[in-house]
Structure 1
C-alpha cells in the first residue's frame, strides 16, 4: 500500500521582492512534489514596492502564468506581517496560518531546484527526525566577489551543520515538523539575524528530535556582487555571532588586530602574490586566487565590526508561542 506523502507548508518571508518574485514563483510551480500536498505561504513584510500586487495576482491566478503550460498550478496564499519588520516575524505569521505537518522555509531571492521539496521531505520518513536542512548553492556570478564566494561555497549548509556549539540549518533551505513549534515556541520575532540557529538549537536542547541533512535538496542563492553588499553580509554574520553569544554563550570570533592585518598584507605582497601570479600565467590560478588574502581580510574586518557593535536587545529575547 502506497504511503501518503505528508502535507507541506512552504513559507517565504518577503520584503520589497518584486524583482525576485517572478523567478521564485516559477521555481515553486516547477516543483515535483504533488501539488495537492503542498501550500505556498508568501508573507509580505511591509513592502513598499509592487510585492503586494504581485502576490495578490499570484494567489488569485487560475493558471501557471507566462503561457508556460509545463508549470504546475499551485496553491499560493498571500499573507501579510506589518507589525514587526523582521523576516522571523513574517515566518511566524506563516507558521500560524500553515496547515501542513511539515513546515519548509526558503527566501524570495532563492531559486529551488524542481526536486527541492521532494528531496527535502524524504528524511522525515525517519520518525526521530524533526529538522531537515537542504543544501544552498550559489547562482552563477560574474563579479570577482561572486566568484570568490562561489569558490569557497560560503552559502553551504556544511558550515552551519558543523558548528562547534551545535549544528543548525539556515532558513534559506530548512524544514521543521509543525508540532515542534508547539513544544519550543516560534522564532524570536524581534531578532534580525541568527534566528535560524536559535530555533534549531532550542529544538535540539529542549527535545529529542534529530537534525538531518538532505544534500540533494538544493536551492540556489545569489551571491553578493559589490563590496558594500559583501561587507553587509559579513557584518551580519558578526552580529549573529554576538547575539548567539549572549543567548547561549557561544565563543566569540577573535577580532583581527591591525598588526595581524598588516603582517598578512605584507606576506601576501611579498610571497603569495608573486607565486600565485606565476601560476596564473600558466593557467593554474585565477584572479580569485590572486586576491584571496585581501578579500579574506575584508571579510574578517567586516565580521569583527558587526560582532563588536552588536547588542542583543531585551525585546529580541522574546519567544512567541503557537
Structure 2
C-alpha cells in the first residue's frame, strides 16, 4: 500500500532527531514523506535536509516563512504523489506499529478515513506543572468511540478525495483548531471514521505552567475564530462565575449576617452556587483514581493551573470570536452553514 506521510514543523531541533528515529523504526514505511517548514531558525531545516540526504524513503522538504499549520498541511498534501495521506505533528513520539495501524483498515475499500488514538507517556511527566496537567486531563484518557470524538491530525489518515471534498484545512485560522474543524467537516460530509483505539502516538507535553496557559489561549483563539464549541465555552464561563461567587459568598455573607444586615439562614444561599465546583470535584476524582500518586503539592497546584488555563482559554475564545477580521467572520459563517447541513 503506497501512501504519503505529511507533517509541518517549526523550530523542533530539540526533538527532531527522536522523531526521525521513531519514523525510521516503523514496521510499515511510507512511500514518501513531505514536510513543510514554517521558517525554522534553530537548525531544524538543516537537520531535515541532512535526513533527506541519507533517507531510504524519498523526502520532500517544503518551506514557507511564517505559514500557519493549516497552510503547511495543505501545501504538503497537495504536493503528495499518492492518494492515501497519513498526517502527524513532528515533536511527537511514535510506536513502531503506528503507521501500520493507520493503514491496515484501508484494506476495506469502504474505509476512507482512519483516526488514531494518542496518549502521553506518564514516565516523561516530571515537573509539578506537567503532573498537574496530567491530573487535570484525567491522564489524557479519551473515549475515542464517543460520538463527539474527533481525531487529531497528529494521528489520522485519509484519501485525497476526502481532503479535496472538504477543501483542505482552514488557512484562515490564526494558530489552532484547523484539525478540529477538518474533523467536523469530515463528519458533516458523512464520512465514517474508522478508529484505531490503541494509542500509538505519544504527545509531548510542556514542562512549565506558562506552556499550558499559552496552549489554552491558542486553542481558545482558534475555536473562537471558527465559532465552534460555543456551548462548552458558555458552560465553562457560567461554572467559573458560580465558583467565584461561591467563594465570595463564603466571605461576604458571614460578615453581613454578623452585622445583622441579613438573617442567619442567608448563609445557605451559598448552596445554590455549589454547581460552580463541578470541575473541582472532577479533578479530585482524577487524583483519587490515580491513587494519590502525585501527592498534595501537585494536587493543590492543579487547582491553580485549572483556573489559569480555563481563564486563558476563555480569553482566547473571546478574542477569536469578537476580534476576528471580516474575512475570518465570513469564513466562519460559511463553515457554520456547512456543518449545519
**Structure-2-length-normalised TM-score:** 0.74
Mapped pair 1:22 → 2:22: no
Residue 253 (structure 1) aligns with: 233
1:264/1:119 CA distance change after superposition, 3 Å = farther
Residue 193 (structure 1) aligns with: 176
Question: 1:294 and 1:262 mapped to 2: Cα distance?
Answer: 17
Greater Rg by CA: 2
Deviations 1:155-181 (A, max 9, x none): 8483686465xx421112121211212
1:124/1:314 CA distance change after superposition, 3 Å = farther
1:259/1:210 CA distance change after superposition, 3 Å = closer
Q: How many pairs were matched up?
A: 288
> Mapping of 1:135-284 within 5 angstroms?
135-139=117-121, 140-153=124-137, 156=140, 158=142, 162=146, 164=148, 167-191=149-173, 192-206=175-189, 208-245=190-227, 250-254=230-234, 255=237, 257=240, 260-261=243-244, 263=246
- Greater helix share, structure number: 2
Question: 2:166 and 2:138 mapped to 1: Cα distance?
Answer: 30
Deviations 1:40-73 (A, max 9, x none): 11211122221221111111115xxxxxxxxxx4
Moved more, 289-298 or 40-49: 289-298
- The SS at the match of 1:142 is coil
* Unaligned residue ranges in structure 1 (runs of 5+): 1-5, 63-72
Residue 268 (structure 2) aligns with: none
Question: 1:169 and 1:92 mapped to 2: Cα distance?
Answer: 17
Mapped pair 1:300 → 2:310: yes
| TM-fit CA distance, 1:152 | 4.6
**RMSD between superposed Cα atoms in Å:** 3.2
1:283/1:230 CA distance change after superposition, 3 Å = closer
C-alpha contact (below 8 Å) 1:242/1:252 kept by paired residues: no
- The SS at the match of 1:7 is coil
Alignment equivalent of 1:81, drawn from 51, 54, 64: 64
> Mapping of 1:78-117 within 5 angstroms?
78-82=61-65, 85-117=67-99
1:23/1:39 CA distance change after superposition, 3 Å = same
C-alpha contact (below 8 Å) 1:86/1:190 kept by paired residues: no
C-alpha contact (below 8 Å) 2:105/2:111 kept by paired residues: yes
| TM-fit CA distance, 1:264 | 5.9
1:162/1:81 CA distance change after superposition, 3 Å = farther
Question: 2:147 and 2:314 mapped to 1: Cα distance?
Answer: 18
C-alpha contact (below 8 Å) 1:12/1:43 kept by paired residues: yes
Question: 2:233 and 2:80 mapped to 1: Cα distance?
Answer: 37
**Structure-1-length-normalised TM-score:** 0.78
| TM-fit CA distance, 1:252 | 4.8
Deviations 1:111-151 (A, max 9, x none): 11111100112222333332222122124121112112334
Residue 60 (structure 1) aligns with: 53
